[in-house]
Amino acid sequence: MKDKASCGFRTSIGGQALIEGILMRGPKKQAIVCRTADGLVEKTEELKFIKDRYPVLGWPLIRGCAIFLSSMVKGMQALTYSANLVPLEDQEEPDKLDKWIEDHFPEDKAQKLIIALAVVMGIGLSLFLFIFLPAFLVGLLKSMTASYAVRNLAEGAVRIAILLLYMKLVTYVGDVRRLFSYHGAEHKTIFCYEHGKELTVENVREESRFHPRCGTSFLLVVVAVSILVNSVVRLQNSFARMGAHLLLLPLVVGISYEINRWCGLHDNALSAFLSAPGKWLQRITTNEPDDGMIECAIRALELVLPEEKGSDAWGK
């Protein structure tokens, strides 16, 4: 019996869960749809791709880092926009650094600076958790440092454990649980579109929330690829290993993106095997959405559908 989650058409349209909303990014524009007390709030904008200005950033292995950084920036901008739609009485007080920036810069520049700092801090936290901390912890275990292969595998195991623990811990935060429900709505809506069904709440509700072309899958692929790529590092000193891993990170991200891209273009045993861990992790990072969340996802998808049918095919 054919898996109902499989489909002939694969779209390049992707999304991101926001605070009470959804971001959908199509081939030419992106849309944000958020639910407020006054109903749905919509925002669309044309996309500008850096590879159009610098073609080299569209080359294989290089494009992965460019797309990753661009997605982080645009995602943080969308998340900030959705947070600003929350009623003032429900918004958290800005921290001291954000307040200082708001007091010393014009509003538009302050917003850009806060987003830039958030991206830098997010990257910094990721580097600490997945490069520096594993190398440091494994370096403390002298029995594992004698063999380069054992040490590399141990560091990879620590990265996976940190990723799973982090994902599990954030599910205990109420707002994050709702965020993960919007994540589920995004996946279900894209599946419904790929299956050629009418975009209705009823049709979307019966789709799977586990999608193979998801950022969650990408994270696991990055960890797996890092184990292979970092196997070339044959340094005993923990700080030297951290530096080498940091230098190899762009290659790791580039290879990981190409693997995810290949899996999205193929439907065979190998692609299913490579996608399986990511789908398993989505059991943590997605929840079943309610009808209101599905309505947000449907509207966001409708706003980015291309005029030319099929021009959003994956890999184009």
Domain boundaries, the chain: 14-304
46: β partners: 29
Q: Alpha-carbon distance 68 to 60, whole Å?
A: 13
Q: Show the tokens assigned to 67.
A: 């797309």
Q: Alpha-carbon distance 226 to 223, whole Å?
A: 5
Please list the pLDDT of the chain residue by residue as tens digits (316 residues).
344 445 578 999 999 999 999 999 999 999 999 999 889 999 999 998 888 888 898 899 999 999 888 888 898 899 989 988 987 666 666 677 777 887 778 877 877 787 888 888 888 988 999 889 998 888 888 766 678 888 888 999 999 999 999 989 988 887 899 999 999 999 999 999 999 999 999 999 999 999 888 887 788 889 889 999 998 888 878 888 889 999 999 999 999 999 988 887 888 888 888 888 888 899 999 999 999 999 999 999 999 999 888 899 987 6
Question: Pick from 7, 11, 21, 9: which is nearest to 300 by CA?
Answer: 21
Order the strands of the 29-36 sheet from edge to edge: 14-18, 21-25, 29-36, 39-46
40: β partners: 35
- Count of residues for the chain? 316
Question: Pick from 81, 305, 59, 34: which is nearest to 182 by CA?
Answer: 34
Q: Which residue has the tokens 């069904």?
A: 197
Q: Alpha-carbon distance 23 to 83, whole Å?
A: 13
